[in-house]
Amino acid sequence: MAAQIMILNGPNLNFLGIREPHIYGRTTLKEIEASCQALADQLGVSISFHQSNMEGELVSLIQSAHGNADAMIINPAGYSFTSIALIDALKIFEGPKIELHISNIHARDELHRHSIISGACTAVICGLGPFGYLAALLAAVQNLGQLPGTIPTALHGLAATGKA
């Protein structure tokens, strides 16, 4: 059975391509979704792709993944630095959880430098731009042990530990 991967996007990411292109680039969220879907098709997995500006809606989506998704990728955006509610919801989900940031948050201003969400996630990817979504999708599928044989064997040989 194909793995189910939920991809969540937080506030203001619906304005990717327009909002601060010097930080986030000109790629839109729709273009990122299309790239993720194309890679998911190649990997033989199913994705659900969501964006919300509302913290409670993101919490509900995370809760809906319990028993329905095998792995989760989340770009919490501004909630990375403030949301205890997202942390608590993420702790409920038992599969791999990959936190994703388009920019390198560690090289940004003090306000955007420390994600409190990271402690509730299996892994963090940041600073790869929109390609980070594809890296996160590959990592999620690899972590589930479901990389197809069509993927280069070198990637299969890297064991995922899921441990800090």
User: Which residues are designated catalytic?
Assistant: 24, 101
* Cα–Cα distance for residue pair 113/116, rounded to 1 Å: 10
Q: How far is CA 76 from the centre of its chain?
A: 8
Among 79, 84, 82, 22, residue whose Cα is nearest residue 52: 79
Under 8 Å between Cβ of 105 and 112: yes
Number of H helices, E strands in the chain: 6, 5
